[in-house]
């Protein structure tokens, strides 16, 4: 069976050099391992994703010399798949509805920090762990609030999960030299993560594990900023009986000041670099992929 790689950008801004690196690296792995290269559009956030950004993704990647299989999977067309996965989690009793606003959470944490005199623990992204306010809410109260139309998210119940599915969890990591090793995953450090968002009928974590499995992705190549999220993905794969791909988390492309490139910091986009006269060859070289393009078939 051929290895399957994917590049999975979100069309909520223009691609920058960091995305180009991730896309080229995926295509390069696919070429060297005679695998397939897929493109997936991660557009579950319908308020921030825009059609013009999606079009720019196709244009920029084609300009870079990449070829991907069609049709491209667009997550916004597959909410039913994520809902089915969510129902399986619900059926296992490992999720609960959460009605908290950001303010409710911030106040509860401030209160606990004052009481204990200690800083409240944070998840790997630096956000405070959810303090469990809705975890013990009686079903009757939750149903009543849902019927009343109150907005709510669904969270993983890590307390229940630690008993029901304590692990240990592991995945395989691979590198560019063809080495592989088993790595321990620690999903618990994410606390009661949101698995279905208030405003979106899924979440990044749920959609990504469902799609990687549905698309037969065997090798996930993505930035180090998503490395810790893999621990949660491995837990979800186990709960949903999905295979765990192998993972490679690459270093991030930094700007001259040593900061991570990000759409929010106005880093120059590929579109802008093109308009300024950059060539695809110059981009490959700059990212360490020269001198020839590395399209996969
Ligand atoms: N859509 C995510 C992003 O643009 C990447 C998801 C992934 O590769 O797992 O950051």
Question: How far, in Å, is the centroid of ligand 1 from the Cα of 133?
Answer: 30
Say what the pLDDT of residue 296 is. Answer: 44
Residue with tokens 């180009």: 20
The pLDDT tens digits of the residues spanning 95-136 come to 999 999 999 999 999 999 999 999 999 999 999 999 999 999
Contacts of 141 (CB under 8 A, 6+ apart): none
State the pLDDT at residue 255. 72
Q: Where are the beta strands (DSSP E) in the chain?
A: 4-7, 36-41, 73-74, 95-98, 153-156, 169-174, 180-185, 194-196, 219-223, 246-250
Calpha distance 196→207 (Å, rounded): 10
Asked if residues 249 and 172 have their Cβ atoms less than 8 Å apart, the reply is no
3-state SS class at 84: helix
H/E element, 230? helix 229-239
Closest-CA residue, ligand 1 atom 6, reads: 8
Take atom 3 of ligand 1 and give the residue whose Cα is closest: 9
Predicted local confidence at residue 295, as pLDDT = 46
pLDDT in tens, 209-233: 999 999 999 999 999 999 999 999 9
Given a cut of 70, the residues of the chain with pLDDT beneath it are 256, 261-266, 291-297
CB 10 within 8 A of CB 43: yes
Phi, psi of 208, rounded to the nearest 5 degrees: -70, -40
The full set of domain ranges for the chain reads 4-99+134-286
Which residues does a 6 A CB cutoff place in the pocket of ligand 1? Answer: 8-10, 42, 208, 222, 226
3-class DSSP assignment, residue 226:
helix
CA distance 81 to 274: 37
Question: Please, are residues 206 and 103 in contact by the beta-carbon 8 Å criterion?
Answer: no
Residue pair 29/5 in contact by the 8 Å Cβ criterion: yes
Q: Angle at CA 220, nearest 5°, toward 92 and 180?
A: 105
Ligand 1 site-directed mutation target among 40, 222, 246, most atoms within 8 Å of CB:
222
Burial of 277 (0-12, 13-18, 19+ CB in 10 A): exposed
145 Cα to the center of ligand 1, angstroms: 33
If one residue of 5, 39, 42 were mutated to test the ligand 1 pocket, choosing by the most ligand atoms within 8 A of its CB, it would be 42
- Interhelix angle 79-91/204-214, nearest 10 degrees: 110
Q: Which are the contacts of 128, defined by CB distance < 8 A and separation ≥ 6?
A: 105, 106, 109, 120, 121, 122
4-99+134-286 CATH choice from 2.60.40.10, 3.30.110.60, 3.40.50.2000, 3.40.50.620: 3.40.50.620
Residue whose token pair is 């998503």: 226
How far is the centre of ligand 1, averaged over its atoms, from the C-alpha of 164 (Å)?
29
Dig out the tokens for 76 from the structure: 């916004």
Pairing relationship of beta strands 153-156 and 95-98 according to DSSP bridges: antiparallel
Contact between residue 194 and residue 98 where contact means Cβ atoms under 8 Å apart: yes
What is the best residue among 8, 49, 54 to mutate for testing ligand 1's pocket, by most ligand atoms within 8 Å of CB?
Answer: 8
């Amino acid at each position: 069976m051929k290895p399957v790689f994917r590049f999975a950008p979100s069309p909520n801004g223009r691609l920058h050099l960091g995305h180009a690196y991730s896309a080229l690296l995926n295509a390069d792995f696919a070429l060297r391992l005679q695998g397939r290269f897929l493109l997936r559009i991660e557009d579950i956030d319908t308020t921030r994703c825009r059609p013009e950004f999606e079009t720019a993704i196709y244009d920029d990647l084609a300009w870079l010399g990449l070829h991907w299989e069609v049709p491209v999977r667009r997550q916004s067309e597959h909410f039913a798949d994520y809902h089915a996965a969510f129902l399986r989690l619900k059926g296992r009793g490992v999720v609960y509805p959460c009605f908290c606003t950001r303010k409710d959470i911030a106040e509860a944490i401030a209160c606990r920090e004052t009481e204990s005199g200690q800083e409240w623990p944070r998840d790997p992204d630096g956000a405070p762990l959810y303090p469990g306010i809705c975890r013990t809410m009686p079903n009757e109260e939750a149903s009543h609030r849902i019927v009343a139309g109150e907005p709510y998210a669904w969270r993983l119940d890590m307390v229940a999960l630690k008993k029901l599915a304590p692990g240990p969890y592991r995945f395989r990591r691979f590198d560019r030299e063809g080495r592989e090793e088993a790595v321990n995953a620690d999903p618990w450090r994410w606390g009661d993560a949101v698995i279905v968002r208030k405003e979106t009928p899924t979440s990044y974590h749920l959609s990504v594990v469902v799609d990687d499995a549905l698309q037969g992705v065997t090798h996930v190549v993505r930035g180090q900023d998503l490395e810790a999220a893999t621990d949660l993905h491995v837990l979800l794969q186990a709960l949903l009986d999905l295979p765990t791909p192998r993972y490679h988390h690459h270093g991030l492309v930094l700007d001259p000041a040593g900061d991570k490139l990000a759409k929010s910091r106005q880093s120059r986009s590929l579109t802008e670099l093109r308009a300024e006269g950059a060539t695809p060859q110059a981009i490959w070289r700059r990212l360490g992929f020269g001198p020839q393009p590395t399209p996969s078939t």
